[in-house]
Amino acid sequence: MPQKVPRQSLSQKLRPLLLTSLLVTVGVMSVRYLGGFQALELWAFDQLLRLRPAEPPDPRLLLVTITEQDVQQQNAQERRGASLSDRALAQLLEKLRPHQPRVVGLDLYRDFPIDPASGLAAQLQQTPQFVAVCEVGNELGESGGTKPLEGIPSERLSFSDLPIDPDGVVRRQILGMAAAPDSFCVTDTALSFRLAERYLAMQGVQTTRDATGTVQMGETRFPQLRPDSGGYHQLDALGYQVMLNYRNGDPPADQVTLGEILSGALDAQLAHLVRDRIVLIGTVAPSFKDDFLTPYSQSDPMQKMPGVAVQAQMTSQLLSAVLDQRPLLRSLPRWGEAVWVWGWAVVGGGLVLICRSPLTTGLAGVGAVVVLGGISYGLLLQGLWLPILPTAFVVLISCSLLAVYPLQIRN
């Protein structure tokens, strides 16, 4: 007659569960710390972003886009290789200025002298809310940047450089960074931050830094990314960076073309479109190749977002966080992520105690991963980016290991 296996006490069951879950967590988090999960975590992050509900365009912004047709309709000699001639820019400012835009931002490099016959110099003098960009270059001396537009004072100058992840996707934004010492472009402020700062200042919202150096607009703090934030491993956190919480809408703001404004086709609507808004001007012409991969490009790698639209996304994030309390993306500190992952490892192992067969254990493990995905998605909507894939791994591994544990902890 077979000898009956004595029933184990609760403590005897919990010891292997806690030990196994701890060892699995240490192993998975070690792989994560070494960067083994970065590509997968960024992919999962993109999937969750795209699942979010659609959002309406930001009513505080207007995009004025320069299409390929707009480029061709301008005099080629006047353009001097750019997408926008001095004359066309002067005409555009002349159309916009009477309708009192709060800020006008130009997301185009213009490192050549202003054409005296274009009338642009006079228009710039009459548009004190105009903000221009230049390229700051890099600290390695590989690029000296670009010269800024003539006559623009430093307080209305900004850079439009974008941080790009190793897979070519823009998921972060820079609020400020130091220019290379020998750069032609001496500014430490990003275009999106400059536009938002000037817009908010007209509403009495001041931009400051607290005792820790954290940027604060009004009551809203923008915590700086760490090299190990979220799913990143040894992130190049150059300058002051934050995650970019894309507005889930295309385009992110009302959009008109240069030709529609200059032709007078929008004269009747222009006051409504422009007044008290940030007007952002930039090219969408494919020939200028000013477009970028975003989390929304994963479903179609050819579907890139124009640089001016990315700048609008960044500007909208800052305004929405301050004025609408829209969540900023953040992550737990490393120890918090470790506790989160270990807790789910215990859940995965605990399923073995509850379920009575390998089949039900496996189904329960899959169910736990589904619940984990739902919780992670819900918290991402509130701005918290959790390590979903490493956590799913520890659930399944803990569940599998304990299911075949020789002490038969189900007894």
362 found inside a domain: yes
Higher pLDDT among residues 14 and 235, named by residue: 235
User: What mean pLDDT comes out for the span 340-351?
Assistant: 89
pLDDT band at 2 (very low <50, low <70, confident <90, very high): low
Q: Which residues pair with 279 in a beta bridge?
A: 62, 104
User: What mean pLDDT comes out for the span 341-363?
Assistant: 83
Cα–Cα dist 71/77, whole Å: 12
CA distances from 243 to 81, 130, 251, 331, 368 (A): 34, 27, 20, 10, 28
366 found inside a domain: yes
In this structure, what is the dihedral angle of CA atoms 186, 188, 190, 196, given to the nearest 10 degrees? Answer: -120
User: For residue 230, how many C-alpha atoms fall within 13 Å in the half-sphere facing its CB?
Assistant: 29
In this structure, what is the dihedral angle of CA atoms 215, 326, 171, 329, given to the nearest 10 degrees? Answer: 70
49 found inside a domain: no
Are 171 and 218 in the same domain? yes
Are 373 and 322 in the same domain? no
pTM of the model: 0.91
150 found inside a domain: yes
User: What mean pLDDT comes out for the span 21-48?
Assistant: 93
336 found inside a domain: yes
Q: Which residues pair with 159 in a beta bridge?
A: 134, 190
Are 325 and 342 in the same domain? no
pLDDT of residue 7: 54
266 found inside a domain: yes
Mean pLDDT in the chain? 89
pLDDT of residue 327: 96
Residue 241 · residue 223 · CB < 8 Å: no
Contacts of 237 (CB under 8 A, 6+ apart): 224, 225, 226, 227, 229
pLDDT in tens, 249-284: 888 999 999 999 999 999 999 999 999 999 999 999
Are 316 and 363 in the same domain? no
User: How many domains does the chain divide into?
Assistant: 2
pLDDT in tens, 188-227: 999 999 999 999 999 999 999 988 889 999 999 999 999 9
Residue 348 · residue 294 · CB < 8 Å: no
Q: Select from 295, 313, 329 the last residue of a domain.
A: 329
Are 14 and 72 in the same domain? no
* HEC assignment per residue over 183-208: CCCCCCEEHHHHHHHHHHHCCCCCEE
Q: Select from 329, 344, 365 the last residue of a domain.
A: 329
Are 311 and 349 in the same domain? no
Q: Is 39 exposed, middle or buried (0-12, 13-18, 19+ CB in 10 A)?
A: middle
pLDDT of residue 399: 81
Are 91 and 128 in the same domain? yes
Are 215 and 344 in the same domain? no
Domain span including residue 130: 58-329
Residue 133 · residue 191 · CB < 8 Å: yes
Cα–Cα dist 269/36, whole Å: 53
Cα–Cα dist 314/308, whole Å: 10
Are 285 and 265 in the same domain? yes
Residue 164 · residue 241 · CB < 8 Å: no
Are 305 and 341 in the same domain? no
Cα–Cα dist 226/198, whole Å: 27
382 found inside a domain: yes
86 found inside a domain: yes
Q: Select from 275, 299, 329 the last residue of a domain.
A: 329
- Collapsing DSSP to helix, strand or coil, 279 comes out as strand
Are 104 and 85 in the same domain? yes
Are 256 and 379 in the same domain? no
